[in-house]
Amino acid sequence: MASAPERGSSAAPATAAELGLMQGSPPEPSRLVTVAGWQEGPWNRWAFQHVSELVPCAVVPRGTGPVFPLPSEPEELGSTPLEGVGCADTLDDFLHESYTDGFLVLRDGRILYERYENGMRPASRHVLMSVSKSLCGVLTGGFVESGALDPDATVATYVPELWDSAYGDATISQLLDMTVSLEFNEDYADPDSEVQAQDRVAGWRPRRLEDPETSYDFLRSLRRKDEHGRAFQYCSATTDVLAWVLERVTGRRYPEVLADGLWSRIGAEHDAFVTVDRVGFAFANGGVCASLRDLARLGHLVLRGGSADAHRVCSPQWAARIREGSDPGLMAGSDFARAYPDGSYRSQWWSTGGEASAFYAVGIFGQFIWVDPGADVVIVKLSSLPKALDPVVTRDHHRAFRSVAAALA
Amino acid sequence: MASAPERGSSAAPATAAELGLMQGSPPEPSRLVTVAGWQEGPWNRWAFQHVSELVPCAVVPRGTGPVFPLPSEPEELGSTPLEGVGCADTLDDFLHESYTDGFLVLRDGRILYERYENGMRPASRHVLMSVSKSLCGVLTGGFVESGALDPDATVATYVPELWDSAYGDATISQLLDMTVSLEFNEDYADPDSEVQAQDRVAGWRPRRLEDPETSYDFLRSLRRKDEHGRAFQYCSATTDVLAWVLERVTGRRYPEVLADGLWSRIGAEHDAFVTVDRVGFAFANGGVCASLRDLARLGHLVLRGGSADAHRVCSPQWAARIREGSDPGLMAGSDFARAYPDGSYRSQWWSTGGEASAFYAVGIFGQFIWVDPGADVVIVKLSSLPKALDPVVTRDHHRAFRSVAAALA
């Protein structure tokens, strides 16, 4: 069924079409993508552009305002040499090898390079995985700015039901910066991990009988580990608690909050989607699906201090908070700290710290918004890598982005 | 929880917001809309604008072409007197009473009247129910025109698996005009009907253990009754067989066929959606969700003989086929024939026949594209009526549309 890849390299990842995924009426069982395995390769080659066909989704409307223009000024970036990237010598080789679905380089608001692979098109909505978290982080800024949300208040102030969970006495700032300490196994490949249980409750994997009924119930079930605020603990549930807080602050559902507070303000070309569970709670930590250019718009606006032209997503102070990161000491002992001794996580964005400081949003299987203020560059990459996390692949992505930014600086 | 309706009439249907549907984090159980009951009132007040949150949906992209402009020339149509409508004296009263979500009157391509209720907005995608069939009917014309599809060929020519089903020796024309004879109970309220089984397999209702795995399997299971071509038999499965044929003719999935062959050609403002089952088969007979204005565009193009300006959806011959209807004798003995002795069903559209002939697309719970060639008027109404079908309510809708068209003629 799968025809031979047309490209030169034998290592070229097969596309969804080449694999015959979801082709045929009906598709052969061996080509069928289901909710049971869609996140892993090779199924994700098809699934990441078709999430709404697997998991129910709410629409996050773009609104009725004008589209933020992104003029195109193509540059020959494909042959940019990459430094220290194991799998490729040039940018094009790297994109070729790294299961790229969409890739875009923006400098000073102009598209220098834009590429679609594996059936992706400008209007395709691709799942963002944990890049979704960073959307929530920008969105939250507006409520802090307006005074509706006190970053020093506890979660239980807004969501009393969470009082006796891990989150009850955590502050909003601790949610934002992921310094809530809880019993939570974020191992995406472990079926007994909390993160897989969270997926099941969200409709991202087949349910087990003993699973909590709703994501709200799941979040209430989580237990505290140590004192909050002492160390970074990356935890997908923490973002969903932040989304729950925003629902309570606004009295509205998260998809509406995200639309009104963020998506309708970036001059998006396309509506976004976000997956919802059986009671309509959005998967704020990973379930947003959006188009490539719209992510570039968001990155550009944050890079510009939260606003450009008529578009404004957050205050300059909030954008600076994201850009400047937080205390690197909170990351002590982590793999991230070894790569970036001055790096940190703030307001749901990563900051590399150091001399050529960049900040970025990242999601499993290769989703990135990489922002390099020194080069005035935003790089967006959407991918369907075969594995959720691979340290070497992650490192290569960072190096590739740095090489591109350096070539443009 | 539900606050009192603000309107004057005590009979005013409560909106989703007034009912508190899906409000709260989490929603109270009594306010929760689920796949088990979303089609019926009052749940449909919320559900019909949020189908993608209940049933997985494929995107039907609008494409990249220009939007078909619909200039606005407002007229005071709200006070139009209605003839013979039991529940209301004027158009506004009627819209008020009849669970309207969206309503639009187009004359000569100009919007004379446009109204949104119950939280609907211009960008909201509302479920079309069997108006979806009429989209499939227009779409099919292109394949007949190109010669890819022979209207006299049998279904088994294209889908051999259907050979020993009701559909094997039915012709494509018989599918289009619903003159396939089969054992099929289309009673939407009967849990043991075939139409509810079809819903369950499509993901529109909770499954039963004994249900076929896929919609394809369900269609194969249907059995012939009498000779085909002798009488009209309205059957939702028949449209899905037509969609299956189109998948085989093109080698593509129905959402893609619909996008390339129809939706990208009408100058749509918004992507449409269509629900899909667990193997990705679209619910062509009822699962399309679209915006109000985009339906007006489609109606206008069919009224204009299939094309206007740069937009073309079908040949003039195909549009004439829809407009002129077929043999009224095929409807003998039906309720429809009593209302419209010269009426018929052709290419998935209804035709009233007679002097002031109109043709229309209609779906349960109050979905309409009503086209009156004499008045050069297209009327679109999207609703969330409490019951699937009610003869008096249907009659009142027809009379209301006729009164509006007459006032504009």
Under a CB-based contact definition with an 8 Å cutoff, are residues A197 and A211 in contact? yes
B64/A58 Cβ within 8 A:
no
Q: What is the mean pLDDT of residues B198-211?
A: 97
DSSP state of A196: H
Q: Which chain B residues contact residue A53 at CB under 8 A?
A: 56-58, 276, 280
A56/B55 Cβ within 8 A:
yes
Mention every residue, 6+ apart, whose C-beta is less than 8 A from residue B98: B87, B88, B366, B381, B383, B385, B393, B396, B397, B400
pLDDT-derived band at B34 (thresholds 50, 70, 90) equals very high
**A301 within some domain:** yes
User: What is the distance in angstroms between the Cα of A54 and the nearest Cα belonging to chain B?
Assistant: 6
Q: Which of A53, A123, A247 sits opposite B58 (nearest CB)?
A: A53
**B12 within some domain:** no
Q: Give how many domains chain A has, as a whole number.
A: 1
In terms of Cα–Cα distance, which of B307, B289, B315, B306 is closest to B367? B289
Q: Which of B35, B55, B59 to mutate to test the interface with A (most CBs of A within 10 A)?
A: B59
Q: Which of B55, B159, B280 sits opposite A27 (nearest CB)?
A: B280
Q: Which of B59, B62, B216 sits opposite A26 (nearest CB)?
A: B216
Cα distance between residue A278 and residue A274, in whole Å: 13
Cα distance between residue A138 and residue A314, in whole Å: 7
Six token digits for residue A1: 């069924």
DSSP state of B308: E
pLDDT-derived band at B248 (thresholds 50, 70, 90) equals very high
pLDDT(B283) > 70: yes
User: What is the distance in angstroms between the Cα of A277 and the nearest Cα belonging to chain B?
Assistant: 8
DSSP state of B81: B
Nearest CA in chain A to B276: A53
Residue A172 sits at φ, ψ, to 5 deg, of -60, -40
Question: ipTM value of the model?
Answer: 0.95
Q: Which chain B residues contact residue A253 at CB under 8 A?
A: 22, 25
Q: What is the pLDDT of residue A1?
A: 37
Q: How many helices (H) and strands (E) does chain A have?
A: 14, 13
User: What is the distance in angstroms between the Cα of B26 and the nearest Cα belonging to chain A?
Assistant: 7
User: What is the distance in angstroms between the Cα of A403 and the nearest Cα belonging to chain B?
Assistant: 33
What residues make up the domain containing B208? 91-117+126-408
Sign (positive/negative) of CA torsion B247, B251, B254, B259? Answer: negative
B53/A280 Cβ within 8 A:
yes
Q: What CATH number does residue A171 fall under?
A: 3.40.710.10
**B311 within some domain:** yes
B244/A25 Cβ within 8 A:
yes
Cα distance between residue A79 and residue A62, in whole Å: 35
Torsion of the alpha carbons at B313, A26, B48 and B87, rounded to the nearest 10: 70
Six token digits for residue B256: 């893609």
Q: List active site positions of B.
A: 130
Q: What is the pLDDT of residue B131?
A: 98
B253/A22 Cβ within 8 A:
yes
Q: Which of B23, B53, B62 sits opposite A58 (nearest CB)?
A: B53
Q: Which of B34, B35, B53 to mutate to test the interface with A (most CBs of A within 10 A)?
A: B53
Q: Which of A30, A53, A241 to mutate to test the interface with B (most CBs of B within 10 A)?
A: A53
Q: What is the pLDDT of residue B11?
A: 63
B26/A214 Cβ within 8 A:
yes
A32/B271 Cβ within 8 A:
no
A271/B123 Cβ within 8 A:
yes
Residue ranges of chain A whose CB lies within 8 Å of a chain B CB: 22-23, 25-27, 32-34, 50, 52-59, 61-62, 64, 121-123, 125, 159, 214, 216, 244, 247-248, 251, 253, 271, 273, 276, 278-281
Six token digits for residue A103: 């890739």
Cα distance between residue A214 and residue A235, in whole Å: 18
pLDDT(B141) > 50: yes
Nearest CA in chain B to A275: B53
Q: What is the pLDDT of residue B232?
A: 97
Place of tokens 């390099």: A372
**B187 within some domain:** yes
**B9 within some domain:** no
A50/B53 Cβ within 8 A:
no
Place of tokens 């949104």: B116
Q: Which of B22, B23, B25 to mutate to test the interface with A (most CBs of A within 10 A)?
A: B25
Q: What is the CA radius of gyration of chain B?
A: 20
pLDDT(B8) > 80: no
pLDDT(B327) > 50: yes
Share of chain B above pLDDT 90, in %: 94
pLDDT(B90) > 60: yes
Cα distance between residue B168 and residue B121, in whole Å: 43
Provide the whole-model pTM.
0.96
Q: Collect the ranges in chain A with pLDDT lower than 50.
A: 1-10
B50/A58 Cβ within 8 A:
yes
pLDDT(B4) > 50: no
Q: What is the pLDDT of residue B3?
A: 42
**B356 within some domain:** yes
User: What is the distance in angstroms between the Cα of B147 and the nearest Cα belonging to chain A?
Assistant: 21
A276/B271 Cβ within 8 A:
no
Q: Which chain B residues contact residue A125 at CB under 8 A?
A: 59
**Catalytic residue, candidates A124, A130, A344, A347:** A130
Nearest CA in chain A to B282: A53
**B290 within some domain:** yes
Kindly state the greatest CA–CA separation across chain B. Answer: 59
Q: What is the mean pLDDT of residues B204-233?
A: 97
**B58 within some domain:** no
